A and B are shown apart, each in its own frame.
Chain A
Amino acid sequence: MGKAIIASFKWLGFGFLDPLVKLFQGVEPKKNGGLLLKKVIIPILSVLIFLAVCNFFSQYLYNVERERKIENTRATQGEEAALTMQECIDSGDLSCKPNSLPSPGDVWHAAQTLIADHRLISADKEAFKEKTAAINAQREKQGLEAIRYTGRPSFVDQIFTSLETVFAGFLLAAFLAIPAGIVLGLSETLRSSLNWVIQIFKPVSPVVWLLLVSMVVKTILASADMDKSFVISFISVGLCSMWATLVNTSVGVSSVDKDYLNVSRVLRLGVMSNVFKVILPSSVPLIFTGLRITLSVAWMVLIAIELLAQSPGLGSFVWEEFQNGANDSNAKIIVAMFVIGGIGFALDRIMMLVQKAVSFESKA
């Protein structure tokens, strides 16, 4: 039982929890207690220290901002207005709150606000659906398009939009890079002839890719009735992130163990079965390493691309909040930052599990 729990924790990448399980079972309490301290308790403490430092720093920035605001009022509107301003700030009134780095508490509140907002919008959506159900059924009969909810998306909706975009981009990258990588890996000539192009394209910034893609998409889809910003952003994400997979696949395919190739030659395997039975299986671990890098790059550039392409998602959420400048905007941006980080981490873990599942143990 305990072994199974530990094994599954390890498989999921939660290996650091196994001292805890062992402690519960009473196995080697001294050693496992030490391990628990090192692997779980100290990391938790360090997070708490991080929060405390943040809190202190934001408090400091707040005070600086407060002083400046009062001084400014004094200089422009005189002593009386300055005193009123000071009172207003100290009373905690939102209308005159100085705009600075939010404290962890503010961020927590903002997160709750965002969730409440999501509930509100979902309820609104449901109500809208109910209200329009009858009309939509009628319109469908007449061959007309259904009336859709056009209210603003909630934060959670934005997350899902971003995930959709990154997933589309990731699939595009995989579909482009894996076959291309195989072909490049098989042909030395092709590899060296395209090497420069690849090396030049690889470090190009996501912003430039976005502009390039929009130049092309704008023309091709000029008349098409579809969400152009989504198309542009997912293609840009795909193009930015595909290089890791391309390079890894071609390296994997070109560096197949010579012994395996000898086996295939002795058996006189045809080109196709050589590729599918020997070369591809042996390069699977490298291909998946590439895909894992691709996914994390895709998620990272996605935010910047959404921000610029005006495509809905977390990126535009951050940008809108920044432009908005409401008194809790900064806190919302930081909430988004943590959500982005958390999702990126989760995606990486998922890819790691897939990679583990499809890879064989090293050379036999």
Chain B
Amino acid sequence: MAAFLELRNVSKSYGQGAHRVDVLKNINLTIEEGEFIAIVGFTGSGKTTLISLIAGLIQPDEGEIWLKGKKITAPGPDRGVVFQNYSLLPWLSVSGNVDMAVKQVFPKMNKTEREEHVARYISMVNLTPALHKKPTELSGGMRQRVSVARALAMDPEILLLDEPLSALDALTRGSLQIEIERIWRESKKTILLITNDVDEGILLADRVIPLTPGPKATLGTEFPIGFKRPRDKAAINADPNFKKERNGINNYLMEIGKHRSATNNRKYDLPYVDPILPPLKSLI
């Protein structure tokens, strides 16, 4: 049987000629159904490009992406995306935002069914009291939860989380991490999480895969994480294995990061500055 989600030799670059930047090069990734995968990498290493490729928002230059035996060529509701900056429509309420997605994905539902559906997913992210509020009235953490509810309500095959917690404060992030883990267990969805926080990856994922720093970023050696579920942040923090895993991944990332700075042979052309001299006064 073919894998659930498969990326085969995917490459993506922007620009042309001398300005061409190879963002991703030869990405190979296989994800099984129900897995929770975390991809960690430095800022600017092409994480968002990777998620946009899987979401179908952009097309790869080379290689193919397959989801459940179907090649991905365009965005679609089978891949629920949670964007880094929430992307809620500010003129719609919380339920309106979720309802818009539900209406589009399940056009056959009648009004009461749809209302129930929306309410179920909003309660899944613990936002029932804010059902009729506008996004501007919510805190960052609440907005991100609406975004998660919207993605889940589409009943996607896979949930793509693009640094969903990076804009939040540490405390909110901690509580949302626990919630994402719970939602993953309850909904039994496959989740691909992109993050720049190694601890977050270890806490949540079955496998942590580092993305080497760009340009020409590719996936590095993967680290399987074996902590038992449901995961408890305090227990994991105390676990000696956690430190070992974290040091392992961090060292790996530092190593490839060093490699990057060592092999940076870009030529920095300094501007050619011609000193401006006062014009020579010709004495008559």
> Which of A's residues lie within 8 Å of B, judged by CB?
259-260, 262-263, 265-269, 273, 277-278, 281-282, 284, 360-364
Q: Indicate whether B41 reaches chain A with its CB closer than 8 angstroms.
A: no
> Which of B's residues lie within 8 Å of A, judged by CB?
55, 57, 74-77, 79-81, 83, 85-91, 100-101, 104-105, 134-136, 138, 143, 154
Contact across chains for A277 and B100 when beta carbons are under 8 A apart: yes
The 8 closest A-B pairs by CB, nearest first: A364-B135, A259-B87, A364-B90, A360-B91, A361-B136, A265-B75, A267-B104, A281-B91
A363 to B138, CA, bound (A): 12
Chain B nearest CB, measured from A258 CB (Å): 9
Chain B nearest CB, measured from A324 CB (Å): 53
Contact across chains for A268 and B75 when beta carbons are under 8 A apart: yes
Contact across chains for B134 and A364 when beta carbons are under 8 A apart: yes
Residue from the list B88, B101, B143 in contact with A267, Cβ < 8 A: B101
Given contacts A361-B134, A362-B136, contact A267 B90 (CB under 8 A): no
Q: A262-B57, A284-B91 are in contact. List 20 more A-B contacts (CB 8 A).
A: A259-B83, A259-B85, A259-B86, A260-B87, A266-B55, A266-B76, A266-B79, A266-B80, A266-B81, A267-B100, A267-B154, A268-B76, A268-B77, A269-B104, A282-B89, A360-B91, A360-B136, A364-B90, A364-B136, A364-B138
A278 to B97, CA, bound (A): 11
Given contacts A360-B134, A362-B136, A364-B134, contact A263 B76 (CB under 8 A): no
Contact across chains for B136 and A262 when beta carbons are under 8 A apart: no
Please give me the residue from chain B that is nearest to A361 by CB atom. B136
Specify which chain A residues have a CB less than 8 angstroms from the CB of B77 in the assembled complex.
Answer: 266-268
15 A-B pairs whose Cβ atoms sit less than 8 Å apart in the complex: A259-B83, A259-B86, A262-B57, A263-B83, A265-B57, A266-B57, A266-B80, A267-B154, A281-B89, A360-B134, A360-B136, A361-B90, A362-B90, A363-B90, A364-B143
Greatest chain B CB density within 10 A among A277, A281, A364 is at A364
Specify which chain B residues have a CB less than 8 angstroms from the CB of A362 in the assembled complex.
Answer: 90, 136
A30 to B280, CA, bound (A): 66
Contact across chains for B105 and A267 when beta carbons are under 8 A apart: yes
Contact across chains for A278 and B57 when beta carbons are under 8 A apart: no
Specify which chain B residues have a CB less than 8 angstroms from the CB of A278 in the assembled complex.
Answer: 89
Chain A nearest CB, measured from B283 CB (Å): 52
Chain B nearest CB, measured from A272 CB (Å): 12
